[in-house]
Amino acid sequence: MRSLLAIYKSLSLGKRAALWFVFCSFLQKGITFFTTPLFTRLLSTEQFGYWTLFQSWETVLTIVVTFNLTSGCYMQSLVKFDNQKDDLTSSFVTLLTLILLAFLGIFFIAPSYFSALIGLPERYVLAMFVSIWATAMFLFWSVRQRVDLNYAPFVALSVVYVLVVSIVGIVAVLLAPESLKADARIFSYAGSCFLLFFALGIYQFRKGRKRFSLKIWKRALKYNVPLIPHYLSQTLINQFSRVQVSMYCGVAAAGVFGLAYSVGMAILVLNSAVLNVLTPWVYQKLKADRATDIKRGFLPAFVMLFAACLLVSAMSPELVAFFAPSSYSEAAWIVPPIAVCTYFMLSQSFYDNYILYYERTIFLSVASIVAAIVNITLNALVIPQFGLVSAGYTTLICFILSSVVHCIFSQSVVKKESNHSIIVPIKSIYIMGATLIAVSILFSVIASCIALRYIIAFLAFIGVCISILFFLKHGKSA
């Protein structure tokens, strides 16, 4: 124990912050992940389907009604203009709030029409506006903490947030009558977000002196508006399969697909942790014209995701049985291709760092729109013929396509904007990706070979542990 403490104290601030950010991501996602079995048993498949649809539409509408100002331009601005952080935050908070209020006003013009359009009751849409604004306030604050390497308050508030939302949600569903359990889950979530982050939003608004800076607003809109098609297309790939499963197979089937998606996407805890640590660091290296330093942070991250995908795919029948009753058993066949999606999502995110830093955002939108159109078209052709399991593979195909196109565009941007080429081990990334695809298909054949799956799962677990340690030690410098 003393030796571990000594090693921890010897770490630089950058590495110490990276360790805590990774730990916090694990804890947040872990708590949310392990409350899923409770909700799948407390809610019927239809009620869980409504909660899944609420989450999907919340993700989509966040991009539309906030212009996704908490992503992209905000972090890049904090790094590029590090002497204006308070003013930037206040102006971004004000701009996002005004945009959201404008869309809320549009909704009130014809609430019945818009509610019918997305297939959710008006009360759920209003709750969605509340949760979107509150969560945005938290995201502004958390991005600032990551850039400043201020890990202690970030970890504390993040843990409080996920615990409060989970506990309040469970209690609300337990106390609600059967007919109102879906309402209890949704309103407890939105109410908890608002109560936790309302004061944080006011604090960020008042902290800066330039709350209504047209200069900051103009730059933010010029940067983010061209990115809206990109963010929206990526979300459609990520979420709209659930909506299409609901359209073609019913709300209950959407609940099954939603569970499979949650299990397969559990690997995003690693994905998000890596990106939260590396993205501001990559921007700082590009700003200092030290792009060659970036390469050593990439390959360990992909090895980590490769092993994690193998682990989740190998254990998919057991994971689904743990997280839900037998009525969700079909989800086990969807988990492997969804798990592999996270690997290609990570590769795409790394490529995007270059495009976002150099502000050539139109390239992202073109690539993502193409992938989203392919995804929706494939789903429309395949799901009615082959059922909800096929939606997992159409989603994987589109993430592969998106990753490849983003890779091509990022190489083009870097060659035009700098004197160096893109610093990513592209060949190794796609060799491992092809291996994952083959293995995910193999798992559907050897699902009954429990011993073989467990051996693969054990080796993958060891691989995850080793690669995490290597990443924390060598993945990035201070």
> What pLDDT score does 478 carry?
43
For residue 119, what are the contacts with CB-CB under 8 A and spacing of at least 6? 53, 243, 246
Matching residue, tokens 């059922």: 387
Cα distance between residue 407 and residue 401, in whole Å: 10
> What pLDDT score does 14 carry?
63
Cα distance between residue 30 and residue 39, in whole Å: 15
For residue 324, what are the contacts with CB-CB under 8 A and spacing of at least 6? 36, 37, 40, 41, 259, 331
Cα distance between residue 210 and residue 135, in whole Å: 22
Cα distance between residue 350 and residue 339, in whole Å: 18
> What pLDDT score does 102 carry?
95
The answer to whether residues 318 and 447 touch, using CB atoms and an 8 Å cutoff, is no
> What pLDDT score does 371 carry?
84
pLDDT < 70 positions in the chain: 1-18, 22, 26, 29, 33, 288-298, 418-424, 447, 467-478
The answer to whether residues 232 and 376 touch, using CB atoms and an 8 Å cutoff, is no
Matching residue, tokens 């190794």: 428
The closest alpha carbon to 276, from 474, 8, 24, belongs to 24
Q: Quick one: tokens of 26?
A: 């694990």
For residue 193, what are the contacts with CB-CB under 8 A and spacing of at least 6? 130, 131, 134, 135, 138, 165
pLDDT in tens, 297-341: 667 778 888 888 888 888 888 888 887 777 788 888 888 898 999
Cα distance between residue 180 and residue 310, in whole Å: 39
